[in-house]
Structure 1
């Protein structure tokens, strides 16, 4: 009897073990190439095995006086957006690794509100907005974190001139936003590159009317080295996405009369994905503001990203 009981227990153990793991995709950001492992799930933003936490988005300056920026290298995703006079700013999204500081922090724009809807209810750190736009932020599904709302989470650096000297402290920022959504599927997929369709590429440039982004592939480091307006930086994403979007004039303008462009991130269009020293042409799709953004090959298959930080340059179609 004891032998029969022992054999039965062993059989049951094997059956339970065989049923314990699902082989399916299982949701957003999963690595199709077997890159997940251990007790931590793959981040839906980077595909890395990290404990993804609540989502913090920070509006970061990209004027020459703002460089070098602080904390951008620890962001999961960096969006490059066009602002007034053809200049650019970043929207940096954090959920896994939090730097001690990030910035310089600058003001939000109308385009940020649509872009951030796919992140649930994220926290947004920004320096302020013009009064005409404030009602839209108040109605948006996000947690506002300005210096006036979370003064303990910001500080100004004496070695830089205002307004390029405001820096946020991510841990303190998230402490002031306990209801911020955790990182979840926004449509990104990670894993092996497409078997065909990629062109060898070591250099790529993307231009706004008054800004330029350069990406140089480093075979040694397996990352893209970033230059801003021709100046080299220490920034090194694993994947760069050039998402071709509609950019139009919004109703808002700055004190000089320059109108703010509105970058539409819903709909569909062409996309270029840089990974592993190759360039892949594809498509992006986001049916509505509550949906994530998917990237596919011309054949409609998922256009998977390399594991690591993702840059998305929102370039005019």
Structure 2
């Protein structure tokens, strides 16, 4: 399938403060406050101890022989740091606030893309509808950056609602002019072909030969020491309610493409993936959101109307985890807002882990599963 006309706009600017959320997640804020308080207390006690030593009574000869009273500093409360795109605890005290933004890489999802590279290092993947009934992947990278990921393809207007909640930057081959205008209007930074870290693999055929070294893209990105917000409402295995058994999943995007999953007792395996051997995305959870899809207002070079996923509002949600299905509702108040999940019993969380989101059209898409 022919790709869209490449947009050669500038990389754009990081989102203006007006577009950023005023606070990070409440839980992460509380942990940060605890750390700062503990550090401040330790520093004050250390200063006090030095003052006592330096200002001991000089008139009393015996004061030189006296040892300052010991200061017992209570150990700071253990702080658990988690990754924003998985909810998993960072190992070995690793800093979960990377200096680079979340890098969302647009990856082709047709037979021509085989083999896809880099999916095995993604924190999260979103599958979205594009023209011709096919799908494209938005692979989220933050905790780990692969040196070769792709084939990298073009952006869509649908990506605005997908990447905005974590103020992500998009790695892309380009985009059609109407898409670039909307992406720039939303304040989203993107790195098209020609940017540092993007290159053509001469062993492959165009347009399926654009790849990215995300370590180099990150070096060129504006440095941001802040931890992104949690993309999903993360929870624990114990929080996840018992659901009906569901070990095989078929997510149909409306007649053009169906993604099939099988639960093997640990992960969900994508049965019709184009990923390279050993480089598949190990999904702990498959989250299906039934979404409204409209017309983006232009056609691709082949004459196909370009669809636009409306990741805003609310709809049905299906959470597949541990070989079980829990049904609920998703909601998202605006493009920048995080996704919220709920059931009739209250808020619903996603067990921490690596999640694959299927944005299935509510109009003509379908999701089936079996209990085997």
Aligned to 1:46: 86
| Residue range with higher mean Cα deviation, 254-263 or 227-236 | 227-236
Deviation at 1:129, TM superposition (A): 0.9
- Verify: 1:65 aligned to 2:105, yes or no: no
Aligned to 1:165: 209
Identify the structure with the greater strand proportion.
Answer: 1
Aligned to 1:184: 229
Aligned to 1:204: 249
Q: Give the 5 Å matches for 1:224-303.
A: 224-228=268-272, 234-303=280-349
- 3-state SS of paired residue (1:129): coil
Q: Give the structure-1-normalised TM-score.
A: 0.83
Aligned to 2:36: none
- 3-state SS of paired residue (2:309): strand
- 3-state SS of paired residue (1:192): coil
- 8 Å contact from structure 2 (residues 197, 212) kept in 1: yes
Residues 163-201 of structure 1: CA deviation (Å, up to 9, x unaligned): 111101111111111246643223431312556441112
- 3-state SS of paired residue (1:110): coil
- Verify: 1:84 aligned to 2:128, yes or no: no
- Unaligned runs of 5+ residues in structure 2 are 1-65, 363-372
- 8 Å contact from structure 1 (residues 266, 289) kept in 2: yes
Alpha-carbon separation, structure 1, partners of 2:158 and 2:359: 11
- Verify: 1:75 aligned to 2:122, yes or no: yes
Alpha-carbon separation, structure 2, partners of 1:315 and 1:298: 22
- Unaligned runs of 5+ residues in structure 1 are 23-35
CA, structure 1 residues 231+176, in 2 after alignment: closer, same or farther (shift >3 Å)?
closer
- 8 Å contact from structure 2 (residues 87, 230) kept in 1: no
CA, structure 1 residues 210+232, in 2 after alignment: closer, same or farther (shift >3 Å)?
farther
Number of corresponding residues: 286
Alpha-carbon separation, structure 2, partners of 1:231 and 1:198: 30
Instruction: Pick the aligned partner of 1:104 from 151, 172, 185.
Output: 151
Alpha-carbon separation, structure 2, partners of 1:193 and 1:247: 35
Aligned to 1:223: 267
CA, structure 1 residues 154+231, in 2 after alignment: closer, same or farther (shift >3 Å)?
closer
- 3-state SS of paired residue (1:132): helix
- 3-state SS of paired residue (2:346): coil
Q: Give the 5 Å matches for 1:77-156.
A: 77-120=124-167, 122-148=168-194, 150=195, 152-156=196-200
- 3-state SS of paired residue (1:69): coil
Higher gyration radius (CA): 2
Residues 53-109 of structure 1: CA deviation (Å, up to 9, x unaligned): 221111110011102210012111100000001100000111101111110000000
- 3-state SS of paired residue (2:347): coil
Instruction: Pick the aligned partner of 1:214 from 246, 257, 260.
Output: 260
- 8 Å contact from structure 1 (residues 213, 230) kept in 2: no
- 3-state SS of paired residue (2:159): helix
Alpha-carbon separation, structure 1, partners of 2:160 and 2:115: 26
Aligned to 1:26: none
- 8 Å contact from structure 1 (residues 268, 285) kept in 2: yes
- 8 Å contact from structure 2 (residues 155, 179) kept in 1: no
Q: Give the structure-2-normalised TM-score.
A: 0.71
| Residue range with higher mean Cα deviation, 134-143 or 185-194 | 185-194
Deviation at 1:140, TM superposition (A): 2.2
Say what the alpha-carbon RMSD is for the aligned residues.
2.5
Alpha-carbon separation, structure 1, partners of 2:155 and 2:240: 40
